[in-house]
Copies of this chain bind each other. A is one copy, B any other.
Amino acid sequence: MAASSEKYDIVIVGAGPVGLLLSVCLARWGYKIKNIDNREVPTLTGRADGIQPRSLHLLRNMGLKRQVMAHQPAKVYEVAFWDPQSGGKGIHRTGNWVACPRFIDARYPYTTTLHQGLIERVFIDDLHKNGADVQRPWTITGFRNDGQDELYPIEVNLKHTQTDEMEIVRAKYLFSGEGARSFIRDQLGVKIRHKDPISHVWGVMDGVVRTDFPDVKMKCTIHSDHGSIMIIPRENNMVRLYIQIASSTDNDFNPRKQATPEEVQASAKKILKPYYIEWDRPKAGQGMNTAFHDALNLAWKIHHVEAGFATRSILQSYESERKHIAEELLDFDAKYAALFSRRIPSAGKMGAASEDNTDGEANEFVKVFKSSQEFTSGYGISYGPNEFNWSSDHPAQSHLFNPKGNAVRIGRIMPPANVTRVVDANEVQLEQEIPLNGSFRIFLFAGSPSETQRAVADFATNLQKKRSFYSSFERKDIAGVSYHERHNPHSDFFTICTTFASPRDSVDISKMLPSILARYSDHVYADDVWDPRVPDVRAAAHAKMGLDAEKGGLVIVRPDGHVGCVVSLVEGSGTVDALNGYFGAFVSKSVGRSKPQAQL
């Protein structure tokens, strides 16, 4: 009977990175989740375990970076390229390159490598703090929309993989984080398109090694006369080797070929000559970063629908935004794997590659590697125009969008910037000041107080007008909100941060801000911290946002950290009108319609 089944907001099948991150977000935001996994314990052997710079930035925003770093992961700052020497003399280094070049403004310009199982445990510990857990070893055996319950339309059948115990639950959402083999996808008839037929088979082996190969603690791509190998340093003196063990050009090519640890070791020894390598402990064994951002993209959209903020149609943008990224990743993987697998003729020394030295005889593999670094760092993710990512096609039309000189790229994450928090004089990372709380982030850059005093007052006045996005989504429990609530005193829909282009000393919150903005007193900042990327400006954060240090402006950031729109800060109602138009494109209430659109 449907009536007796336990009800969940969401059933999440699979507790790998995507399932876990989705569970963590939704459990934190107050949803009732059921996350099952058919494995008895979290991931034991390796698997995807390189955390991209942007992913680490996200983990910081979730308050989980410290827990990850407590495992003392390896940090990859550079990549070394090794190629065959002529005359059968084995390999030699032909170049090296920073893992995350300076043109990417990354807070943590390195890749962090750590056993996926440890990363999963960080998420699972966080679930425990919110009273949730992963149910193991359970699997899904069926699901259907049976018309029995309007609020919880899906009946889901679950089974213990060992005892065959059965459980029937109802849910609003059913999410598949099952990976390559998905029961849910099969049932729904969703096909996986393989981008290219498999043409190379790689063996992966983690181990603790002894070697005189000098770059064993760096990421290395090695081409030799005996095949190719990639080295990834890991925590606890471990090293991961990816070794090519079969190719479609082999006479006996078998795409399911397996290799024993001994075979992989023997290959590695040949490839690494003239260096020796021995194993203390070997253990036989990409997509995690993408999984993080898939889960995050979906989590906040489900939240905004279920919280009553947004129309259900926004869920469609999950597929359109993330599928594009997935396709880019597949294209890149295919191209990269093919190039890496290709044999490289013995080459002369490329010269010590450095950021300033892009000339020289770099081969095509190195060129592709370098040109894709923004993408592989995770900072290249850019969502195209839609209801969230303003463009000239967006329903909201105002000359105040995208003020002249604006540098913030819509659809990408907001640039990082250090500022001084006014109440306690702490130097903080502005983009990290709002934790991943599921809210839109309204960054008011207030320029020079003398210049913007009136505009800031008008902004506050218009926010409070009836039918503004601000008034429309006021918390129902607003009278009982704690004095100490820092992020969402008015609404879970948004959080407001105000940054003045003035020294901290000169900012007097109670005098310079209307009370509704002063209420966010922990989110008032002074843009007075010097930044080496814009060394000559007075207000670095304003400059990095492409905003005038006198006039300021607003940057609206989606709950996942990507920029939605940028609006000028002006006297009168124009700024709030523009924001009402922006939010009006996807929220569940008609906002700002008390004013005729023509006035924009």
Contacts and interface: CB of A to CB of B under 8 A. Distances in A.
Interface of A: 66, 69-70, 74-78, 96, 110, 208, 210, 212, 214, 216-218, 233, 237, 280, 352, 354, 423-427, 483-484, 505-506, 508-510
Given A505-B96, A508-B214, A233 B66 contact: no
Contacts of A509: 214
A110 B427 CA distance: 10
Contact of A280 (B77, B483, B506): B483
A427 B77 contact: yes
B424 A217 contact: yes
A75 B505 contact: no
A485 to B, nearest CB: 10
A229 to B, nearest CB: 18
Contact of A233 (B233, B354, B424, B483): B424
Q: What number of copies of this chain does the assembly contain?
A: 2
B66 A208 contact: no
A210 B280 contact: no
A196 B584 CA distance: 70
Contact of A218 (B74, B217, B425, B427): B425
A218 B237 CA distance: 43
A424 B484 contact: no
A484 B352 CA distance: 29
Contacts of A216: 423
Contacts of A280: 483-484
Nearest to A76: B424
Contacts of A505: 96, 352, 354
A505 B215 CA distance: 11
Nearest to A522: B217
Nearest to A212: B510
Contact of A214 (B70, B210, B510): B510
Shortest beta-carbon contacts, A-B, top 8: A217-B424, A78-B425, A77-B425, A217-B423, A352-B505, A237-B484, A210-B483, A75-B426
A206 B212 CA distance: 58
Contacts of A424: 74-78, 217-218, 233
Contacts of A484: 208, 237, 280
A110 B484 CA distance: 24
Contact of A77 (B66, B69, B233, B426): B426
Contacts of A69: 66
Contacts of A425: 77-78, 218
Nearest to A72: B63
Contacts of A508: 214
Nearest to A508: B214
A487 to B, nearest CB: 13
A70 B66 contact: yes
